Amino acid sequence: MGSTETTHSLDVERSRSAQTFTMLMIAGFLTGCTVGPDFTRPAVPEVANYTAAPLPEHTASTSIALGGCPRIGKYAICQ
């Protein structure tokens, strides 16, 4: 009979833990809803470009194929 009582007390403890966890999650969600609704979107900046100077049409490139190992003189950099 002691085993049944132990099992029952563990089930009750798990149930209380689950209820406590659920209540804390609900409280957290409600707190988040209370804090968040006053958000106002910031004004859009009035700029002509994203950068101060125009971007170049071409960027630097290399003649090494994808996955190739660059060399300095006769020495390979990646070994």
pLDDT tens for residues 1-39? 455 666 767 777 788 888 999 999 998 888 776 666 677
**Stretch 42-67: mean pLDDT:** 81
Map residue 75 onto helix, strand or coil. Answer: strand
- Give the pLDDT score at 22: 93
- Give the pLDDT score at 16: 87
Model-level pTM?
Answer: 0.34
- Give the pLDDT score at 35: 62
Q: CB within 8 A of 64, min separation 6: which ones?
A: 70
- Measure the CA–CA gap between 33 and 8, rounded to whole angstroms: 37
